[in-house]
Chains A and B, each alone.
Chain A
Amino acid sequence: MNILDVNGLKVFHGHAQALRGVTFHARKGEIVAVLGANGAGKSTLLGALSGIYNAKAGEVVFNGKPINRRTSGYIVKQGLILVPEHRQIFNTLTVQDNLLLGAFHRYNKDKSILYEDMERVLETFPALQGKEQQTAGILSGGLQQMLAIGRGLMANPKLLMLDEPSIGLAPMVVAEIMTALRKLREDGTSIILVEQNAAAAFKVADRAIVIERGQVVISGKPGELVNDERVQQAYLGRTRDQAGTVAMAL
């Protein structure tokens, strides 16, 4: 069953068309990787899905409800949460404040269980344990990324969208984050993972789509995409001969 259906989504930044009719879907409990070069429209897609940008045309149905032209507040309430590019944590607030603010939309309803949920997030990212009262801005890049994802998880997402969570991070930290994403999928959270690091994304994704110039140009399972010459050249930096190794690793 699909949790997200996107049909013919068109978004403009001024006169420039950033999305030219994007169509794709995400099923419940799967990780969909979204690949694309800089400027392909990946972040615009996530921004449009989360209500930051208004779509000029197209339809977005999330969990059975149309969310076109809805405010980001409404979309967050439905359980569609974006962890933005470059983390964008509240750097002068503490780790705990950042996490609690992630639950803003349900603060009045679920106040009593927020701290239990925070404990669960800290179990997902043990590296954050004991740092609850630290100012978020002084954390390392990796911990800030974990905090950004943790803040998103505090919103109780049905579908979590992550915009390039591996950017600028050491391979070990990326591996830790990808492990956490697998665990979230096992717990039933659907995930859309925007990445330029295709190798890392293919390791966790169930399906992947490739966006070029604001359109979906390829889609399929990572095992299929890894053999596509365009994907190999553009995102894996490999020739066809080397692709077999990657396919086997998957």
Chain B
Amino acid sequence: MNKRTSAGSKLVASPYIVWAALFIIAPLFFVVYYSFTDKGGAFTLENVQMLSKYLPTFLRSIWFGIVATIICLVIAFPMAYIISQKTDKVQRTMVMLVMLPMWMSFLIRTYSWMAILQDTGIINSFFSKIGIGQVHMINTGGAVILGMVYNFLPYMILPIYSVMAKLDYSMVEACQDLGGNRLTVIRRCIMPMSIPGVVSGITMVFVPSVSTFYISQKLGGGSFDLIGDVIERQFQQSYNYNLGASLSLVLMILILISMAVMNKFSDEGEMVI
């Protein structure tokens, strides 16, 4: 192909490059800018110094995120395996059923959990009918983690499933021929081969869990503030954009570090979506 047409077709990317510079790169620059300035726009380290006050909140967010991610992984792995063993038609239907809840507003679905978990809610009225006393569930840390697991479980099932569905089954057969029973085949053969799916599942669950703010407000009743809640308040209630920006900056760096660590575990270093 001659050089002129090639240069011409490269040019069609330029609107996007301008767009990305304006609306992807520039906003990140403003996060840094607001982090290190005060309301008047003068340089200050005050916001960064304030961060230590929020250390417990950061730690709680990370802890909740890790627990939710592990629970998702434990639930999703067998589920993905079970789906991948079905016939094509059943697989398609089951994947659709896993995806379907994601198309309904997560706000409404989380709110609906309140009706289930409340002290006078569905589970407790069932408990009192069969004679078990009331169990306090709403506004606990466990309820927040349940909300995270519920909302992000599909993000764990789908990438693991998509890796398992494409596995080279001659390897599985070889493992069986060598005398492996069902569990050995899963542990020594299927598990190692599905690592890329697991890695992308972990990032897809951990990132939204750590940064969520709605789930913790509704199911935690305000007593389990996560870092997302604090950021949200700075922007929507106390209008301290500078502090909010520095908190966001730390959250971003935290996510980047954890993603870099996760990518070390996967050989390809590429995400499977």
Task: Verify that A and B bind, or say they do not.
Answer: no
